[in-house]
Structure 1
Amino acid sequence: MSVNKSTGYRVQGTGLNLVSFALCFLLLSFNFYLLSYAQEDFVYDAKNKRDPFIPLVTSDGRLLKLEQQEGTQGLLLEGIIYDDKGISCAIVNGEVVRVGDEAGGFQVLKIQKDKVVFIKDGQPTEIELKKEE
């Protein structure tokens, strides 16, 4: 504390308050800086799924029929994770499968970059991955 020479009263220093204010300002600025990076734009990837914002019931109460894009004989190939070393996976009918697994009554024979080969009763069936438009 210091004494004001003209009045003789004690004057409390503001040094600590200024440091506290500066620290609060820096912390708030840093938080806003981090938030600016955390809020990246999100893009919904439909990948053969229906638009979740379109209602399934019309305004007059009728139910809409959903069109399911299916591949051969009830198999829906949704995605492929291809690995040259042979550890590839595919998403078929909503499930992750590998070579040797079964999906929809078919056995996965081979997973390639753009298609999956299935076999059932000795008959191979190829389903190509549809590219997004």
Structure 2
Amino acid sequence: MEFIDEIYYLKRKKGDPGHFVVFTNEKYLKRPLAESDKNSKEFTITQGYDGPTKFVRPFYTSFDNISYQKCGVIGWFPYLTPDKNGIITFKVPEYGQKELNLQLVGATQNGTLFNQNILCTIPD
């Protein structure tokens, strides 16, 4: 329990067994690495094997609760490409949220993977 900050049980609708969401604290990031991790080597993936599927937004009973704010999903945009100036434009569904955590995950043209989180404030 020393690495766990919060635990939530999420149950969406009748018949859904639900699932647990565990949030770790900073001690988890600073823990000693296992021997297998110390001896690991980095590599670049040059080809993927699974294409994107159609996104269906989960049913949320509220957009104000802490579990939605920490791990809720309102959209998925798998086919974003930059314009001639390198700018990517997309629209996010509005459900009354004041902020959203934009998670960018993907691969560059040379196969380098990236994962970045950006906290965005929604203007009134």
TM-score class normalised by the smaller sequence: under 0.3
TM-score with structure 1 setting the length: 0.22
TM-score by length of 2: 0.23
Q: Which one has more relative contact order, counting CA pairs under 8 Å at least 6 apart?
A: 2
More helix by share: 1
Larger radius of gyration, structure 1 or 2?
Answer: 1
